[in-house]
A and B are shown apart, each in its own frame.
Chain A
Amino acid sequence: MTDLEIPPLLLQTPFHSRVSAACEMNLWEDWKGYTTPVAYSNVELEYFAMRNSASIFDITPMTKYRITGADGHAYLDRLVTRNLKNLDVGRVMYTAWCNDEGKVIDDGTIFHVNDDTFILCAQERHLDWMEWSALGFDVKIEDVTEEIAALSFQGPTSCAILKIMGLTGVENLKSFDLQHYPFGQTQLMVSRTGFTADLGYELWIEPDHAEALWDALMAAGRDYNVKPVGAEALQIARVEAGFIQAGVDFVPAEQEVRVERSRSPYELGLGWLVHLKKPNFNGQQALKEEKLKGSRFRFTRLDVQGNKPAENSFIFNRQNKVVGVVTSAAWVPTAKRNVAFASLEMPWGKPGNELWAEIYYLRELKWARVLEKCTVIEEPIFDPERRHATPALDY
């Protein structure tokens, strides 16, 4: 039944009162139907809070599913490409999942919260595919996006601040661990996860306690230059971290309209997430075949000469033939590189290949074009020791 009101165009997250008070630039965008800040005050300073002190990013709009039931573990193992057998209670795993053609529907994280409860967190929505995949399993899948408020709390001083907040022992969480802490009248779930390749945590709480959580972080971080950060700053950090994003670096398979626009995990550099030897998982047959026959594309991280981001650039080979396109690009200030993620036709993109990015840039009404040489990046772009060090130190 309906209440006679026009539903709002955009929702506000449970942190909105705090976010809007802090958002001096008043610059917003629509992220999965929520009003979320593009930037708060200064993108550069927000970025450096992530890399130098601590940052708060509201991730409530991420899609979250709760999976319960006797077959939850087996079901998820069948859904995703990675082997989940060793995903114990208190652990989180990053994985991808595919359709039957072996094309990536999305990537995301699975949290083993307690015995028979899992949370799957992702950028896109998957309930229909998850329900089809659940046939034959004793599981219940619920969309709990609106039931869980969440913050990503990232940066070298993040652990120190959480300790001040009273999360005793949080420094002992290893990467991809999760732990519950009492918080007021509720429980705060803390996972050592994030989208920045740095020391950092994600904090999950009931919406009613969201504002209190925000306030507690700001209070505890008062002397630590903790800053809320918007989408633009995060974008730089995630490119620096080398992480791909659904809808940006690949077309989620279920949304594909044109032939051959979606990608397999191998074609996204996610081959390490595929465990072909698992008894059975969605897309297994197709991926086995691809492994034999070879892939159509290679996903490559490039270091582009010069300092102009190669946004939307064509990538050429030495013979001046287009061999691919850039999907994400940024000058990354900490690693000091000009990074471009590129989807290239096979066999291009192997280390040592000579590749060129065609970059257009505008200066006072004048467009200029440069061809810049690209080097395939083999090592992680940004991978500080503090990212994995346990116990986490007060950097």
Chain B
Amino acid sequence: MKKYDAIVIGAGHNGLTNAAYLAKAGLDVVVLEKNPYIGGATVSRELHEGWMYSNCSYVCSLLRPEISRDLNLPKFGLQVIPYVGGVTFKRDGDYFGNYDDHERQYREIARHSKRDANAYERYTADVTKQTRFIRPFLLRTPPDPTSFKPRDIQELLFLAKSFYNLGEKVLGDTLRFWTMSIGDFLDEYFETDVIKCHLAGSGIIGTALGVYSPGTAYVLLHHYMGEVDGSVGAWGFARGGMGSVSKALAGAFQSFGGEIRADAEVDRILATAGRTSGVVLANGDEIYADIVVSNLDPKRTFLDIMAEEDLPASVVKQAKNFKIRGSSGKLNIALDGLPTFNSLPPKSPLMTGDMHFIDSLERMERAYDDWKNGTWSQDPYVDMLIPTQVDPTMAPVGKHMMSVFVQYAPPKLATGKWTDKDRDAFGKTVIDQIGSYSPNFKDLILHAEVRTPQDIEDEVGLTEGNIFQGELTFDQLLFNRPFPGYAQYRGPVKGMYICGSGTHPGGGVMSAPGANAAREILMDLNHPTTVPEAYPDD
């Protein structure tokens, strides 16, 4: 039977990135994907004829530009178009808009509070300081702080130097920032609730924490550290939906001779005498390789497709304790036309950006209370976009596609597992919320895909439906992601590696975990690396 050089389990975008860099180095690589399609949470699917949905992830910023360029993703069909705008609708009929032009934005904030409009400059400068600190680490393997290997010491020195370069004051700010709540952080700048609320969303997306829970400020940073063509913090639409990212990565991988097998669920990673020799598929087939890379989250990797007896007990324990709480749902909606909003002029440039319907931190915190109580938020924070205003490829001319990310929805309800009835009620809650700000919205709905955290888990294989393959809290970041001792992408069994969002630098469509893992694998093979170095930020 044929033996590959490497098997990558899962055709999520990180699995594909990892596979592409291994294949680029000349390795014979196969990617095994359980679904009939590739992409994992980075996928576009046509569920209603003529409409393409970005079923999970929907906007792009984190994708490392070094990787897009190095793998020549544009050649394989990837184009990311920046979008601007965004609005938070208020209950009183007013709104807070996000204009891309600095001065119009100033005036929009000033319409609510002149002081906040000025404070926004300080806020931007301070957040930029923090993104400049984190960005150089995205394409680096975290050091092992307990190791005395020259490379670890070198990387620790890099970390220490970056800290030192921040200066005394910013260093203090950084430590606070990484551990404080987004609510507390914003309170230090702004007096207007709707402005805080508009900004706070990035601190809770995908996170089972409330706006006043410590650790949420970092989640905001995680959403600001990307870029579109050098514009740090900007977000864009992948033309054709987020599936274009996976398709392009797959194209690059295949151009290096790589093989992808869909409908190939892995049941177990083979491990004997502390080293792997391949995998067993759900259908019983065995596939062999000395290197097996898992794109699955740490829980699925260590607890589902590995046998406990093959693992050190401490790994089993840490995997069991890994925090991966689901908190988000998603609606994808086919629309017969462009909705209008009571408080916005038609064609408002705000409508091409992220829209939200919750206007105070208090309401956001209450939305989190519902999650704690085992139900979806009755008054949810949604992040809603209509990409078809920009992207002509995702719906017929004049028709639209709407992507609605919903925070919060629990992985399991107080009443037990999600039922079809629960899913319908969840969808209705969201549709009603939107409908109360848009008079024609409900009439325009042609089809809606409603996804609960449980659906996301069942389909994408993200445990509990956690979108980041594990929470982005300080205890699970850098050299502690997914857990101490395993942050350098090497598994506890020789030849076995992890490359998903559950590893550094975490979730989002970023390709960094996959690329970083490839660098480590190639190093272990004494093969020159194919993974590009980060562009310096100066």
Using known A-B contacts A128-B122, A254-B125, A256-B125, determine if residue A6 contacts B103 with beta carbons closer than 8 Å.
Answer: no
Chain B 35-60 near chain A by CB (<8 Å), digits 1 or 0: 00000000000000000000000000
Cα separation A32 to B105 with both chains bound (whole Å): 11
Return B124 CB to nearest CB of chain A, in Å: 8
Contact in complex: A2, B104 (CB < 8 Å): no
Contact in complex: A6, B118 (CB < 8 Å): no
B342 and chain A: residue at smallest CB distance: A4
Return A310 CB to nearest CB of chain B, in Å: 23
Cβ contact of A33, chosen from B106, B116, B167, cutoff 8 A: B106
Cα separation A254 to B128 with both chains bound (whole Å): 12
Contact in complex: B167, A255 (CB < 8 Å): no
Write out the residue numbers on chain A whose beta carbons fall within 8 Å of the beta carbon of B167: 259-260
Write out the residue numbers on chain B whose beta carbons fall within 8 Å of the beta carbon of A257: 125, 128-129, 132
A257 and chain B: residue at smallest CB distance: B128
Contact in complex: B344, A4 (CB < 8 Å): yes
Using known A-B contacts A254-B121, A255-B125, A257-B125, determine if residue A10 contacts B345 with beta carbons closer than 8 Å.
Answer: no
Write out the residue numbers on chain B whose beta carbons fall within 8 Å of the beta carbon of A143: 110, 114
Return B444 CB to nearest CB of chain A, in Å: 20
Task: Check if A127 is an interface residue, CB within 8 A of chain B.
Answer: yes
Write out the residue numbers on chain A whose beta carbons fall within 8 Å of the beta carbon of B132: 257-258
A131 and chain B: residue at smallest CB distance: B115
Contact in complex: B103, A10 (CB < 8 Å): yes
Cα separation A243 to B110 with both chains bound (whole Å): 30
Task: Check if A30 is an interface residue, CB within 8 A of chain B.
Answer: yes
Task: Check if A125 is an interface residue, CB within 8 A of chain B.
Answer: yes
Cα separation A260 to B129 with both chains bound (whole Å): 13
Contact in complex: B115, A4 (CB < 8 Å): no
Using known A-B contacts A7-B104, A33-B104, A33-B106, determine if residue A2 contacts B125 with beta carbons closer than 8 Å.
Answer: no
Task: Check if B180 is an interface residue, CB within 8 A of chain A.
Answer: no
Return B174 CB to nearest CB of chain A, in Å: 12
Cα separation A290 to B395 with both chains bound (whole Å): 63
A-contacting 9-mer, from B16-24, B93-101, B148-156, B414-422: B93-101
Write out the residue numbers on chain B whose beta carbons fall within 8 Å of the beta carbon of A131: 115
Cβ contact of A128, chosen from B102, B118, B343, cutoff 8 A: B118
A125 and chain B: residue at smallest CB distance: B118
Write out the residue numbers on chain A whose beta carbons fall within 8 Å of the beta carbon of B115: 127-128, 131
Task: Check if B161 is an interface residue, CB within 8 A of chain A.
Answer: no
Write out the residue numbers on chain A whose beta carbons fall within 8 Å of the beta carbon of B108: 7
**Chain A residues close to B by CB (< 8 Å):** 1-2, 4-11, 30, 32-33, 101, 125-129, 131, 143, 254-260
What 3 A-B pairs come out closest when comparing CB atoms?
A: A33-B103, A128-B119, A128-B118
20 residue pairs of the A-B complex, CB under 8 angstroms, read A2-B93, A4-B343, A4-B344, A4-B345, A7-B99, A7-B104, A7-B108, A9-B101, A33-B104, A33-B107, A125-B106, A125-B118, A126-B118, A128-B122, A143-B110, A143-B114, A254-B125, A258-B132, A259-B170, A260-B167
